[in-house]
Structure 1
Amino acid sequence: MKILHTADWHIGKQLHKYPLEEDHRLFLDWLGDLIEERRIDLLLVAGDVFDTAFPSSAALTLYYRFLQRLIGCRCRVVITGGNHDSPGVLNAPREILRHMDVRIVGCATDDCADSLLIFDDLNLAIAAVPYLRDVDLRRSVSGQSYDDRSEAIRQGIRQHYQRHLDLHQAQYRGLTLFGMGHLYVQGATVSDSEREIHAVGGLAAFSCDHFPEGFDYLALGHIHKPQKLSERVRYSGSPLPLSFSERHDPKYLLELTLESDKPVQVEVLPTPRLRELRTFTGSLDEVWESLQAFQAQGTLEALLELNVVEPTFDPQKSVRFDLLLREFEKADFRIIKPRLTFENRLKEADELFSVGTDIEDLTPREVFLRRLAAEQLDEPTQALLLEAFEELLTEVDEAHSFPPQT
């Protein structure tokens, strides 16, 4: 039996306002071909299917078009919700999708039987654990310390997995048990696009050792850099580069092979590099020269980040920087993240963001993190403020995800 582990598709993602719709279309076409060619029995998608809680019609079309293509190819699908996903959006069509061999677990429920998925013909049980929000794990108690709250979250995550394991042991002991998850596990390396990952799981310093024993494999999502945390715990990473910091990261899917009385065999399947992401750093003259010599590669238009650094403030440098951007507007690449900084400029309150960075390009979490970094606060205080912000942000997201009934 062959299983594919993937996560963090982020369909609908825009890289500094540049849509990556074509990247996702080509990736999903490639994935469909791969599933047919390698005769995959089961596809696991461990969260963050979409980039936003309210995906565009174009993003939804790509998603449903891919699932439709799998009809008839004998590949089952399990999809869990991530922190970017709206549980309502994912769960809405799940009863219809069930008839297409697609199982959706958009959010945690009180009954773990809802997310322990049984595939008798594959001799497999899947603990399809989605992103666990703070409200799923514990309630704050007045007077609790930061360490107490962290321990409550850590134990809440462990107990959630333990309940699935107990049900498996009680009723399905003969089946191989896989787990899924969308969380930060201590020791994982993050990219610049994930610097804000200190939410549920992260603040609690949840580690591999906190997962209960009994799972044959844990397929994780949330971290975009693929990595092996232990023999049984792995992040597949995102299949596409989602930030310039990921441009050198390997991108792949994990093919898991199950054979009787043998450990899970894991094979890395690299995804195609569809688009080149490049960063040029240096003085204005150095960057200009590099752009003139640059030869773009890849199926799709190359996207560039410019970090121009000059030692002293000079208005003429700003004028020349604008001229540079106009000069290369019709090149066979696109500059989507230009930045000009002067080393001697004081970083005042209104300069928390580098020249060339539009606050509209940043998420609310990124804005808060930059503001927090500007304060001289000790680490526990920063952690408490960030935790409070995450709770407020989750409440706002959930309020938008579930509009009031009329």
Structure 2
Amino acid sequence: MRILHTSDWHLGRSFHREGMLEHQAAYVDHLVEVVESEKVDLVVVAGDIYDRALPPVDAVRLANETFTRIARSRAKLVVTSGNHDSAQRLGFGAELMDAAGVFVRTSSLSIGAPIMLDDEHGPVAVHGLPYLDPDLVREPWGLAERSHEAALTEAMRRVRADLATQPKGTRSIVMAHAFVAGTKPVTPSESERDISVGGVSIVPTDVFDGIDYVALGHLHGRHTLSESIRYSGSPLAYSFSETGHRKGSWLVELDASGVSAAAFIDAPVPRALAQIRGDIESLLTRTDLDSHESAWVQATLTDDVRPVRAMERLRERFPHTLVLAFEPANGRTARLPSTRPAAGTSDHAIAVDFLAEMRGRPASHEEAALLRDACDSCSPDHDLDRVVS
């Protein structure tokens, strides 16, 4: 059996205000092509189909189109809900979709009831575990503690109880959406939502002992925790902390004894990411940055004084600059005033002082005049902030 493991699509998400739906649709095209070219038998999507519980209409439309296209392909599809999804909304119509070869599992009530498939070596039991919020399952499951490890341990007890009833030689696939860590440290991305519960979020890999393949979702970087336990990561980058990530899906081959091969299939990259740092003049002239001119850019300026029109100037060379930060090389950082303004200080004076503190140099005459007009327009007494030059 050939399995394509993907997760964390986050349909409907933007990247620093850049719409990503077009690029997400391109990934779907790629996914369907891989199903046919690599003769994939099963596609598993381990959670976070959508970016939020109430996804935009266009995102729902793309998900519907994706499920339909895969249903018409040679492959079966198993989808589980993640911590960003609404389990009720994503799971709507699940029983109807089963008949089309699209299996959506979003309820803890379905845990222990596998999707049974077959290949030339015999039966394969696919257990799709939705994201399990410890607060929601602790009482009904009688968990002794409030943690993701406790919730997944109980879920896997139910999975193993089912596997014990299956014919000898049945191979097992488990899908889970959680923060699972092995012996190697795993670094989360900034685009992942924190799922810690009282500081307890990490699940050890031994919770999944004995399973032939574990398809994980939640972390946006690909990780191989063992030959049989992997994260595919998100197919697109959703934060600059993912600049060095390789995006795509795992193509896993399952033979009679378990995983026989695993290869990473790269996803199309809509635009490279780049993080650049330095004073503005060097960033605008350095030849080693030529390759970043077409990338989405996060720039950190180290000028001692905050440059005027910094974003506009950077975009003349790097038109896709999305994020601008300031970290002066002299170590000086702008802070909010530690004391209240003296009684009687005008709004205009407070604004001018604030600008000087944040930028590191006084306001120009033109800027001071603009701030004066702004203060006057907001004041109920239009003579209150009039300053005689």
Report the TM range for the smaller structure's normalisation.
0.7 to 0.9
**Superposed, which structure 2 residues align to 1:308-387 within 5 Å?**
308-311=301-304, 314=305, 317-318=306-307, 320=308, 323-327=309-313, 329=315, 333-342=319-328, 343-345=331-333, 347-348=335-336
- Total equivalences in the alignment: 333
**Superposed, which structure 2 residues align to 1:246-325 within 5 Å?**
246-261=242-257, 263-290=259-286, 294-295=290-291, 302-311=295-304, 314=305, 317-318=306-307, 320=308, 323-325=309-311
Report how far residue 349 of structure 1 moved.
9.2
Q: Secondary structure at the match of 1:67?
A: helix
Gaps of 5+ in 2: 339-353, 360-389
Query: Which of 189, 207, 210 pairs up with 1:210?
Result: 207
Query: Which of 227, 234, 243 pairs up with 1:231?
Result: 227
Report how far residue 200 of structure 1 moved.
5.0
Report how far residue 347 of structure 1 moved.
4.6
Give the Cα–Cα distance (whole angstroms) in 2 for the partners of residues 105 and 198 of structure 1: 20
Residue in structure 2 matched with residue 105 of structure 1 by the alignment: 105
1:23-61 deviation per Cα after TM superposition (whole angstroms, max 9, x unaligned): 111111111111111111100000011111111111112
Matched residue type, 2:20: L
Give the Cα–Cα distance (whole angstroms) in 2 for the partners of residues 25 and 263 of structure 1: 30
Give the Cα–Cα distance (whole angstroms) in 2 for the partners of residues 261 and 40 of structure 1: 19
- Tell me the percent identity: 26
Q: CA contact under 8 A between 2:228 and 2:259: conserved in structure 1? A: no
Give the Cα–Cα distance (whole angstroms) in 1 for the partners of residues 191 and 204 of structure 2: 18
Residue in structure 1 matched with residue 190 of structure 2 by the alignment: 193
- The structure, 1 or 2, with the larger RCO (C-alpha pairs under 8 Å, 6+ apart) is 1
Larger relative helix fraction: 1
Q: CA contact under 8 A between 1:217 and 1:264: conserved in structure 2? A: no
Q: CA contact under 8 A between 1:181 and 1:219: conserved in structure 2? A: yes
Matched residue type, 2:176: G
Q: Secondary structure at the match of 1:206?
A: strand
Rg comparison, structure with higher value: 2
TM norm structure 1? 0.73
More deviation, 254-263/339-348:
339-348
Give the Cα–Cα distance (whole angstroms) in 2 for the partners of residues 165 and 202 of structure 1: 28
For the structure 1 residues 13 and 201, does the alpha-carbon distance in structure 2 shift closer, same or farther, using more than 3 Å as the test?
farther
For the structure 1 residues 57 and 235, does the alpha-carbon distance in structure 2 shift closer, same or farther, using more than 3 Å as the test?
same
Residue in structure 1 matched with residue 164 of structure 2 by the alignment: 169
Matched residue type, 2:237: P
More deviation, 179-188/75-84:
179-188
Residue in structure 2 matched with residue 398 of structure 1 by the alignment: none
1:92-127 deviation per Cα after TM superposition (whole angstroms, max 9, x unaligned): 132332232100012322x5344x222246621011
TM norm structure 2? 0.76
Q: CA contact under 8 A between 1:288 and 1:324: conserved in structure 2? A: no
Report how far residue 8 of structure 1 moved.
0.9
Q: CA contact under 8 A between 1:108 and 1:136: conserved in structure 2? A: no
Matched residue type, 1:220: L
Q: CA contact under 8 A between 1:127 and 1:180: conserved in structure 2? A: yes
Report how far residue 325 of structure 1 moved.
2.1
Alignment RMSD: 3.0
1:190-244 deviation per Cα after TM superposition (whole angstroms, max 9, x unaligned): 3442575352597154211233x33111110111111111222111111212211
Give the Cα–Cα distance (whole angstroms) in 1 for the partners of residues 64 and 54 of structure 2: 15
